[in-house]
Structure 1
Amino acid sequence: MANLRLFATHPHDCSYLPDRIATTVFVDPQAHIDQDVYSRLSEIGFRRSGQHLYKPQCKACRQCIPARIPVHQFQPNRQQRRCLKRNADLTVDTVDSIDSEEYFELYEKYINARHQDGDMYPPSRKQYDSFLTSEWGVTRFITFRLNDKLVSVAVIDVLDNGLSAVYTFYDPDYPKRSFGTFAILCQIEQAKALDLDSVYLGYWIRECIKMNYKTRFQPLELYIEGTWAPEDPQ
């Protein structure tokens, strides 16, 4: 860890908050990364995108706060129990690869429907492969099927101390299914089954409406000033 080199991007427009300037630090792409190093970096707030490990480090803003669910303390609320019931007819499996057109077509449909204003639009196979690629032997894919039809995929990384929820994409034709919520609930159960402590949800931003769903998973821990502490739901 002490020998890892970090690089910083040039200041750029923030992707989440208007009128904010962001800077991101990332680990040297040439560095040797394994499960242990990745796990320790996750403990101090780093995230993975493709082969890059990064975290925000902005001069005038500290709104991006790492968040994780302590899975052994988690109890689903009423809405989450309803979500579990609605999706009880899905077939859930874990696979080692999503390198096929079936998976890419679902990803393409999801990005076109939900993220035309984002950096991943328009979707391409090259971008798909680089963004969701399996890294360092720790990446797995939870697949969800309805009557054999692929309807959702959750990309997870298995760490020493938890699961990292990297990304979820799904068929937008089933809005009442709440596939995003269901995917997190499944990851919580999978972490428990593996006797892991946490599900890492990435960054939570209080002022960003798109991030509100993360606070629905209670208790939630936030990494603030070098310490993981319970989030105050009030």
Structure 2
Amino acid sequence: MKGSEFTYDEICRAEFCLLQSRIEHLFVDIEIACPYGLPHGAVFHQATFAPLNDRAMELFLAAGYRRNGNCLYSMHCRDCQACIPIRLHPQEFQPNRNQKRAKKKNQDIEGTVSILSGGAEDLELCELFLQKRYPGRTNSAGGYYRDFFLNNIVNSVQIHYRVKGRLVGTSILDIGVNWVNAVYFFFDPQESWRSLGTYNIVHLVELCRKWGVGYLYLGYLIREVSAMNYKERFLPHYLLLEKKWRKIEK
């Protein structure tokens, strides 16, 4: 790891320790069945927040926390450590053959960034995606937007991906001065041949480079879950292991 990157993470850890000492009493442990379908109980260590400044959210992300609505959480599961925070440093990323191919076959896509809202078009596409991805569950697009995406604590945006005006994918992001947090991505199941999940991350890397953003957080890498392990193919990437970000190059 380069000296400057090491210094950044050391500073973040030191600042977060101070922040944590003041707010840890706000957190509670919520036990539920594993939302990723693994055969273990899950423990969400979480707290609800009012609006956070940019640096505070940056510190939480650097410490491995995720956002769900107005809650920030980390996983404190007793019998499982499958959820590994993963991030990219956009300036370092080198696309592989499949990622280059995904970009090439989506050259007809137009991506536009706007304030996160959750209009009828997004709700319809999200509902279609959830029914295909999680059939038989009680998840709903309205619930995802109300309880998961929309929030009052950080700046959130959406990227609409369109082909000839038709919405084929929506990316939900939290954005800061030096970080982007990829919250969720959903797409038209009929367009699965496009590898839109891969294309979305490649596009986010390009946006981060354009915006001068140093860190792109991709949530959790879960090797046992197919919908979560594709992130590992983006190299180099960084994994938060034993509270330190480790660079993985192959």
Q: TM-score, normalised by structure 1?
A: 0.90
Query: Which protein has the bigger helix share?
Result: 2
Residue 22, structure 1, aligned to residue 39, structure 2: no
Are the equivalent residues in 1 in contact too, given 2:29–2:43 (CA < 8 A)? yes
Quote the residue 1:35 is aligned against: 54
Quote the residue 2:116 is aligned against: 97
Residue 23 of structure 1 and its aligned partner are, at CA, apart by 1.1
Are the equivalent residues in 2 in contact too, given 1:8–1:25 (CA < 8 A)? yes
Between the aligned partners of 1:172 and 1:86, the Cα distance in structure 2 is 16
Are the equivalent residues in 2 in contact too, given 1:71–1:192 (CA < 8 A)? yes
Q: Structure 2: 5+ residue runs without aligned partners?
A: 1-18
Are the equivalent residues in 2 in contact too, given 1:8–1:26 (CA < 8 A)? yes
Between the aligned partners of 2:130 and 2:36, the Cα distance in structure 1 is 17
Correspondent of 1:165 among 182, 185, 191: 182
Provide the aligned length of Structure 1 versus Structure 2: 230
Correspondent of 1:123 among 128, 131, 140: 140
Identical columns (%): 30
Residue 9, structure 1, aligned to residue 45, structure 2: no
**Counterparts of 1:126-205 in structure 2 under 5 Å?**
126-205=143-222
Quote the residue 1:112 is aligned against: 131
Quote the residue 1:59 is aligned against: 78
Between the aligned partners of 2:87 and 2:49, the Cα distance in structure 1 is 28
Residue 74 of structure 1 and its aligned partner are, at CA, apart by 0.5
**CA 1:42–1:173 in 2, change beyond 3 Å: closer, same or farther?**
same
Correspondent of 1:213 among 230, 233, 241: 230
Residue 197 of structure 1 and its aligned partner are, at CA, apart by 1.2
Are the equivalent residues in 2 in contact too, given 1:17–1:207 (CA < 8 A)? no
The one-letter amino acid of 1:169's match is: F
**Deviation digits for residues 134-153 of structure 1, max 9, x if unmatched?**
54341111111100011111
Between the aligned partners of 1:229 and 1:127, the Cα distance in structure 2 is 32
**Counterparts of 1:68-79 in structure 2 under 5 Å?**
68-79=87-98
Between the aligned partners of 1:19 and 1:97, the Cα distance in structure 2 is 34
Quote the residue 2:12 is aligned against: none
Instruction: Give the CA RMSD over aligned residues.
Output: 1.9
**Deviation digits for residues 32-58 of structure 1, max 9, x if unmatched?**
522221111000000011111111012
Are the equivalent residues in 2 in contact too, given 1:116–1:122 (CA < 8 A)? no
Residue 91 of structure 1 and its aligned partner are, at CA, apart by 1.0
Range with bigger deviation, 212-221 or 58-67: 58-67
Residue 7 of structure 1 and its aligned partner are, at CA, apart by 2.3
The one-letter amino acid of 1:19's match is: P
**CA 1:129–1:201 in 2, change beyond 3 Å: closer, same or farther?**
same
**CA 1:224–1:176 in 2, change beyond 3 Å: closer, same or farther?**
same
Partner of 2:172, secondary structure, is strand
